[in-house]
């Protein structure tokens, strides 16, 4: 079987951005693959652009890194010139500029999320091609295919911060269960007027889904716990 270890690094990925009553919650898995090999099982796909704006990256690892690096640089200058924090909309538009004008060469889908004093918490989806879509919630990456139905069902307006984060963690976890290109841990970043909070949910702390079993240390523990004749019917 060809593992294709020379394939470009791609973050198959599941990334999510959700607005709630007061801010935004961004979430992502942590798997970066090179063909069939998992090059990094604990990547951080939620990248800071400014103090109050973050971006979730999916698709080509290199393309998304270079785009976010450029935009961080532009925003840094913009913040100095403006004299106050950049808005989420400006950040999204800078990403759009790079994504649209280089659409033939880039292969990255991004979700820009943050909080500013003018519009509060905002999420902007920027899929392949460079379209910008402001949304109450956005899902991207290969794992997102499995979440359209879930969000159609579970999404509600005006959630609390806790509800929003739980929704994000649940969703990424469900996508990881079905998408081979997503895996590892669930990372979340919550952004509101008070600041930014990063959270980390390792694989074994997540809820179990259909046909998943409780992790054990060893078969021996199961055999010993079951008593002297575990195989008898």
Q: At what angle do helices 88-101 and 61-82 cross, to 10 degrees?
A: 130
* Shortest separation between residue 123's beta carbon and another protein, angstroms: 13
Q: Is 19 a catalytic residue?
A: no
Encode 117-127: b = buried (16+ Cβ within 10 Å), e = exposed. eeebbbbbbbb
What is residue 113's three-state secondary structure?
Answer: strand
Q: Does 4 bind another protein (CB under 8 A)?
A: no
Q: Quick one: 92 or 172, whose CB is closer to another protein?
A: 92
Q: Does 154 bind another protein (CB under 8 A)?
A: no
Q: Quick one: 148 or 209, whose CB is closer to another protein?
A: 148
Q: Does 153 bind another protein (CB under 8 A)?
A: no
What is residue 73's three-state secondary structure?
Answer: helix
For the segment 83-142, give every residue that binds another protein (CB under 8 A): 96, 100, 103-105, 127-133, 135
One of 13, 19, 87, 108 is an active-site residue; which one? Answer: 13
Q: Does 8 bind another protein (CB under 8 A)?
A: no
Q: Does 7 bind another protein (CB under 8 A)?
A: no
Distance CA 152, CA 144 (A): 12
Q: Which residues contact 137 (CB under 8 A, 6 or more apart)?
A: 16, 17, 18, 19, 123, 151, 155
**Cα 115 off chain centre by:** 17
Q: Does 37 bind another protein (CB under 8 A)?
A: no
Q: Does 231 bind another protein (CB under 8 A)?
A: no
Q: Where do contacts with another protein occur on this chain (CB under 8 A)?
A: 96, 100, 103-105, 127-133, 135, 145, 148
């Amino acid at each position: 079987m060809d593992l294709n270890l020379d394939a470009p690094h791609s973050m198959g990925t599941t990334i999510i951005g959700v607005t709630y009553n007061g801010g935004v919650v961004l979430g992502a898995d942590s798997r970066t693959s090179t063909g069939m090999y998992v090059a990094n099982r604990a990547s951080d796909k939620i990248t800071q652009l400014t103090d109050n704006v973050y971006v979730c990256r999916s698709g080509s690892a290199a393309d998304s890194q270079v785009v976010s690096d450029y935009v961080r640089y532009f925003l840094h200058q913009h913040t100095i010139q403006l004299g106050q924090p950049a808005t989420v909309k400006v950040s999204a538009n800078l990403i759009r500029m790079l994504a649209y004008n280089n659409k033939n060469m880039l292969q990255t889908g991004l979700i820009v999320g943050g909080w500013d004093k003018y519009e509060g918490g905002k999420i902007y989806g920027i899929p392949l091609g460079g379209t910008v879509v402001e949304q109450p919630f956005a899902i991207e990456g290969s794992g997102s295919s499995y979440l359209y139905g879930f969000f159609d069902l579970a999404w509600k307006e005006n959630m609390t911060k806790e509800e929003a984060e739980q929704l994000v963690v649940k969703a990424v976890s469900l996508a990881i269960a079905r998408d081979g290109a997503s895996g590892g841990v669930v990372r979340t970043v919550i952004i509101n007027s008070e600041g930014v909070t990063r959270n980390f949910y390792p694989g074994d702390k997540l809820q179990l889904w259909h046909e998943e079993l409780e992790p054990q240390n060893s078969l021996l523990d199961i055999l010993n716990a079951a008593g002297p004749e575990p195989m008898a019917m």
